[in-house]
Structures are given as C-alpha cells and as structure tokens.
Structure 1
C-alpha cells in the first residue's frame, strides 16, 4: 500500500487519494469528525502545521481511536500535513520561530508535526519511527529562489521521515521550475479548482504527463453553476478534498466514487460519455461567463 518517493519521484497510491478529508476549521470538533469520516469509509486526511486553521494533535487522537476501537489497519491510512510559510501564519501562534533561517523553520515545523501526528508504522514496536505520508509546501514563498531553497530543505527529509512531497496554491511556471531543477519531484499538487483559475487546465495536463496527483479544493464552494449542471447532478461528484461535517454526506461522497469509477471505465467514444462531456463543457463555459 505504501510508496516511498525516490529521487525521481513516484506516484502516490491512487486508492487512498481519490477522496481526502480536509480538517481545516474543524477546531475542537476535529477528533469527532475524523472518526466519523473513517467510519464512513474515508482513509486519507489533510492537515497543516498552521494552528490558526488546523489541529494536527486532534487528527492524531482520532486516528489512534479508530485504530484501537475499529480495528482499522494503520497501513490503510494516509496522513498529509504542510509546512506553512510565516506569511500565512497567525503571528501569535506559529509552530516555529519566524526570525530563524528558513532551514531551521522547516526542521522545527516538521519536527512539531511528527510529534503531533506520531504516524507510526508499528505503534507497538519501540524501534519503529514516526513518519509523514506527504509533506506539502502550503504556498510558494516570496520569490522563486526562496521557494527552491525551502524545497531543497524538505527534499532532504525524503524518504525518511517524509515519504512524498507536494505543493499547494502553485502556478504552472513555479511547478515547472520545481520539477525541472529539484532532485525530489512533487508527487502532489493541491490547488483551488474553479473558473477564476481557468480550472487549472494546463497545470492539470502537466500533472497528468508527469504522474503528479492533482488535489482540487473548493470544488463545490466555488463552482455553484457547475453543481447545477446535469452531468454533476447525475454523478454526484465530490471534491477530492472533502471537508464535510455531516456523516451522511461523507458516506455519500465515498459512494459517489463508485459511480465515477464505473463511468470512467466506459470507452471515450461511448454515446453517454460524449453527451456528458458536451454538457459539462457547456456548464464550464457558462461558469466562466
């Protein structure tokens, strides 16, 4: 089930990453909601070392609870967190000293995440070591040079204790720069998916060509017109990053994946597929207008 990132980079396990549960803004309800998400069938979880929006410690408490009470194997779970630059942090609650060099900020932040999450391949084995399935750079820094500098630091953590690297809120030129110049390639891109970004058409094509997993967020929130289109209603599509607080909707999201999987197995020239694509293109054009 696990894949370690090599110097050339590897694809992330698709079976885990079709639908993630986003833990932003859940605050003290994080543990309860994550437990409900696991019981609804979700197995991948997104958090960040950004205390103003995320509670890494309560995600870990939830994971421990379901492993112990629901007999969920640890190997079936995926935990990804983020290094969040100081410009995106609450100045009064940063998990590192923003006045220290970038390398120290990264090391301190990751160490804090490892302590909070304590994601361990064998909790009963004292010789095993905590790790992160994926560490995501929450956003590019103030200039490309600083971004490459931070990426170089987090690359040194692969494959132990970090197994994959990703980047969020990134443009295609910055992603291309990382892919071309960095030893460890991005395995994941996590971006807002909406018409204002042109639905990341070119960036997603680049990701597909390079085997990078694209995680869209705000897929529902920012696409009201698409939600009313017949194709989306027919397949009940959900964002790959799902932040629901309703357990029934969590379950519906997981069940919706089966519909998408069944649809994706049809041939490209299937009449149903052609009709679906045409209607979706019309809906996207309307959304842009």
Structure 2
C-alpha cells in the first residue's frame, strides 16, 4: 500500500491510498478516514460505495462525514467505483458503463471479465488490506452508498449478512435488472442470461430468499432519475412481501446530488453507529434515529 496523502481533520486523519489489486488487475485508489479514538482502540468500519461517474474522491470532498464520524468513532472507507488504467477496457462516451461504472459485480463476459471484478475487490480483497493496515474492528462492519453504490451496498449486504451489521443507501438503484440505467451494463458484464443478473439485483435477491434484518433508504422526491433509474417503490414492495424491515424516507424537494447526500449524512452515520456499537453482533435492534429535515418515515 502506498500513501498518496494524509490530512488531519477533526482530530483524525483523512488519507488517500493506492494498492495493487489482483481482483481488478490494476492499481486501485481508496480513501480512509480514521477518527481520533483509534489511538486507543480498534473502531467499527463503515464502507461507503459511490455512484456512477464517481471515484473515491466525490464523497470524501462533498459528503461531509468527517465531523460526526470523528465524534462517533467510525472508520470510513471509500473505495473507487471501477478498475482504472490504460489497459482497462472502456466506453469513454458512455457514462453508464466502463470506468466509473463497475456496478459492484464480477464480470464474466470478455473483455471485461479480466478487470471488472468489483464485487470480489470490495468483499474479499480490500477488507483484508483494511484489516492489516488500519485500526479497524472487522467484527463490526456496516455498509452504505449512493445510487449505483446504494445498489452495491444492498446487494453485498444481502449476500454477506454474517459480515455486516447494518446497511443503508441514498437513492439506490433498486431493481437494476429492469432499470434503463443498468440493464445494458449488466448484459455487457454478465451476458444475456438474466438468471445471472439476479445475483446482483436487490429486488431479485430478496425474491430468491436472501435476507438482511433491516434497510434504511433516503430518496429525494425531486430526483430526476426516480421513476426509471432508481425504482424505490419496487424495493418497498418486495421487502413488504418478504417481511424485510425497510425504512424508506421520501425527502421532498431533494434531487440526486451531494447536496441531498450531505443533508442526510448525519442521520445515516448515527443509524449505523447504533447498530455497530458493542461487542455482540446483532443486526436486529431497531434503535432510534433523527428524522432529518423534511423526512417522512415509511416503516415496513
């Protein structure tokens, strides 16, 4: 691991690092915020997965998470969204595919199968590095994300419920198998067999029996991508049918950008902190959290 930069912030350290990824066959950059309490003990880890066109830097620069993360004692890990490098296949004119749009899947279709293995990178490879290099209590992990990253967070939690105690999302792509945003990318990464797509689709995973104790989702009511790209109503319906607890808040007047995310970031950090507290792994506790500006709770 190579250190790109470190900066003191709220008594902690915001760092940017790069390491060689075997999963993605390239160098991968990621950011980690380590709060001041890490000088005394290992701390819970919260993974943030970013959306289309983003890198590790978007949430680091605009997400406004450090003040409260320092207060709560949360290590925040912000990976990149795709493999990078001149040798990585790409579609430069397509913002919904290729670099910046890895969709947190392990591609099986050439030429993308060599590099686009973001699921393995996030679930297997990067956690080992974080555990080795940072004061992280890997028995207490949560995961959240935005848009494509919200899709990644929910699907990863559903497939790894023994690892994560908490999962939330900002405006996630809830049903990527049918979304106009993601359907073309799934076909290029995963082939034409839609049965394969289901293993990376939150709604399909729940329909097929995968479970996680609870999800917390904030969605902007004025999000231009709400109807086709994101489809939160479909996640609400499938969770209700399966008995999965979902707190879905429609935040009226908010869009899809980091103005929306930063407004409700504190709510998500507090919600995760409650579920990551203590030594006994228990995802089922409901806890309380602030409703936030303009929030309307819809608890299933």
When normalised by structure 1's length, the TM-score is 0.37
User: Which protein has the bigger helix share?
Assistant: 1
Return the structure number with greater relative CO, CA threshold 8 A, min gap 6. 1
User: Which protein has the bigger strand share?
Assistant: 2
